[in-house]
Amino acid sequence: MSGPAILVTGGAGFIGSNIVARLARRGDADIVVCDRLGDAADGKWKNIARHDVADLVAPEQLDAWLSGNAARVAGVVHMGAISSTTEPDADLIADTNFRLSKRVWDWCAAEAKPLVYASSAATYGDGALGFVDDNAFGAVLAQRPLNAYGWSKKLFDLYALRAAARGNAPPRWSGLRFFNVYGPNEYHKGGQKSVVAHMYPKAAAGEVTRLFKSHHPDYPDGGQKRDFVYVDDCVDVAEWLLTSDKSAGVVNVGSGRARTFLELAEALHIALGSKPVVEFVDTPPDIRRNYQYFTEADLTRLRALGYDRQFTSIEAGVGAYVREYLAQEDPYV
């Protein structure tokens, strides 16, 4: 390898591998993936199997790789994280999502490399303060995430904002607050897969679709709302920011429209050519207390930056996901 390279941490994961696919198809730089592949039987390696990946770097080797390849790196896409909202090891979350991210940020700042990193809408907690991506330090500090994952993302957003205010920032940087992302290459995520991926096997087999009952007087059963965003849209935003002269700061990435879980189930069955038979079950007590009934990305900041592409509706996104991936023998990007 001697030409320019783009480093994608978490590049074998869900969103990261979709970004790798897009950048590999561009063909204007070597793509280097930093990630752990885990048990081969889980299939995470298949997320990048179709693409020309110039190098694989283990997370513990990342610092050394960066030191030896600074001249070649054209940009860094930092998607690597523990993304499970139920991970019990808070020390592991802090080490992976905060300390590692700080090292990536500091290196990009010192070497003047553009950085796009994954933040999360989990920083907003229950949404009591809204879903506006206000980059004022105090506004971010006031957010109350509901789990350690969301807290770790908030912690790093604060680090980025503080460092940028002190002039210690990459030349262009953007932290993408992803909302409820769904799409291909999430199959290895187990219980953290999207609702669409969970519902598909039973829906395709003609079985009952189960959704959580509402335990909130303002929402009917199945009427809980989320901002569901197709992974292709997330990749579009990441690619646009990486390859443009824009520095977005911390910015929302969602569809900008909250939709109900019942609408999501209906979109899935439309794609399958069937009618849903829905059964509502109690929300498990262990997640009921922190259950979100509404999320919706405010896209004002992203639009003000000049991003004018339209986001995919759940009808179009779920339809594409089913036809092009879930219903195929080889469902990978």
How far lies 81's CA from each of 12, 105, 178, 191, 333, in Å? 11, 14, 13, 16, 21
Token code pair at residue 219: 């929402």
Q: Which residues are catalytic?
A: 149, 189
**Region at 112 (left for phi over 0; alpha for psi -120 to 50; beta for the rest):** left
Contact 183, 18 (CB under 8 A): yes
- Rounded CA gap, 306 and 308, in Å? 6
